[in-house]
A and B are shown apart, each in its own frame.
Chain A
């Protein structure tokens, strides 16, 4: 792959606006989701391969579901859920732009607010269902 791209804009020297922040967070959440996905599979495989080592055995044992509420796992799950719902709703917004719909500035701001609201809605509904069914 032979490409020569210009330098990406530095995030700290621009005034944060809704449009730019949403775009930046789309990339950040995408990278976060990708790294979490790959890291989880990698960790599961490593733990599976080396269960005979005591610290890893202890780690896997501690991760098992018990009656006690696991705050770390819950927080991590919540973060992943928020990132996923935001990435999905903003991705739908990007797809509508690629079709050629809603490219005016007012519509862009409106769809950005809509994307944030729908991401919050999806995340809250999913977390409520999860707590309801698995408490």
Chain B
């Protein structure tokens, strides 16, 4: 039950971030740069999680890779925010 709910939340988040990305890219290309980074990284992270869940069947390996991926993405997000702000 819990995992099914989690999957549903991921599915909904992927779709809503895709919608927000389309809206941002078509309507406000430069004003929404700060917002764009968060939504883009979110969409990207859910996509990577989905691909890893499909092709890596060993649970410990997958969780380890997901953990490192999350840290890597957080570091890159921080770099991108610094690039945008300065």
Contacts and interface: CB of A to CB of B under 8 A. Distances in A.
Interface in B35-86: 40, 44, 47-49, 51, 53-55, 57, 59, 62-63, 66, 72-73, 76, 79-80, 83
B15 A34 contact: no
A95 B76 contact: no
Contacts of A8: 54-55
B22 to A, nearest CB: 7
Contacts of B80: 41
Interface of A is mostly: helix
Interface of B is mostly: helix
A104 interface: no
A135 to B, nearest CB: 22
A41 B79 contact: yes
B47 A34 contact: yes
Given A1-B62, A8-B55, A34-B44, A42 B19 contact: no
Contacts of B3: 2-3
Q: Give the size category of B's interface with A.
A: 20 to 34
A38 B44 CA distance: 10
B18 A91 contact: yes
Interface of A: 1-5, 7-8, 27, 30-31, 34, 37-38, 41-42, 44-45, 88, 91-92, 94-95, 98
Given A1-B62, A7-B57, A34-B44, 16 more contacts: A1-B6, A1-B49, A1-B63, A3-B53, A5-B57, A8-B55, A37-B40, A38-B44, A38-B72, A38-B73, A41-B76, A41-B83, A42-B76, A45-B76, A95-B15, A95-B18
12 contacts: A1-B63, A3-B3, A7-B57, A8-B55, A37-B40, A38-B72, A41-B83, A44-B83, A88-B22, A91-B22, A94-B18, A98-B15
